[in-house]
Amino acid sequence: MGMILYGMLLNINDISLYEVLKEKGISKIENPIIVIDRKKFLLHLFDDELLIKTYKASFGKNQSVIKINKNDNVTPIGEYKICEKKISSKYYKELKINYPNINDAAEALKRNYINKDEFDAINLAHKKDECTPEETNLGANISIHGIGEYDIIFRNLPFTFNWTNGSIAVSNKSIDELYNVVKIGTPVKILYK
């Protein structure tokens, strides 16, 4: 319990996205871009090239650099887009990303992680600007989401605890802010540098 109280003290100075925009003299984020830094456990929200706000993030339980299948609990690295926004009973709100991208699928096909039919299904979804099918061996259930009912605990830990299936978790307050400004098609870059 002492750890959570300490975490609450660390988070007390967190200002809202509305206040950040007001300080920067911006009324609206026109071209949101999300850049995720897996090494630093951060999610950065940009408006074009202007950094707007940085959020603390958690990732997949498995910290490997390369995601090779749907059950490995690794957060993928690459360039994606938001393909769906939804309210979630488990994680509060979700911004689903179109993982795997064509590069992920081509590499997986080359290494025999997926077959040609799975590659073709992923390729077709990307051509249609849709979320990728979850039925492939790479999976596709990767999103930026809230914490859900355990928000008070996880958001107030003074350290990063990676617990997801490969998705990116932020506090419920943070996903509220992101959900309100992010659009379908918003670019998402996941880095590990």
For 102-124, how does the pLDDT look when each residue is reduced to its tens digit (9 = 90+)? 999 999 999 999 999 999 999 99
Q: How far apart are CA 192 and CA 46, in angstroms?
A: 18
Q: pLDDT-based confidence at 65, cuts 50/70/90?
A: confident
Q: Are 188 and 84 a contacting pair, CB within 8 Å?
A: no
CATH 3.40.1160.10 for domain 2-99+142-191, yes or no, is no
Residue 12 reports pLDDT greater than 80 = no
Residue 7 φ then ψ, to 5°: -60, -40
Distance CA 32, CA 18 (A): 15
* DSSP one-letter code for 115: -
pLDDT at 64 over 90: no
Summary mean pLDDT of the chain: 88
Locus of tokens 């077959």: 115
Higher pLDDT, 170 or 156: 170
| Edge-first strand listing for the sheet containing 78-88 | 50-56, 42-47, 32-37, 187-191, 78-88, 92-97, 143-145, 168-169
Domains of the chain: which residue ranges? Answer: 2-99+142-191
* In the chain, % of residues over pLDDT 70: 88
| Residue 56 DSSP SS3 | strand
Q: What is the pTM of this model?
A: 0.89
- Judged on CB neighbours under 10 Å (0-12, 13-18, 19+), 110 is exposed
pLDDT above 50: residue 172: yes
Q: Pick the residue with more confidence: 4 or 49?
A: 49
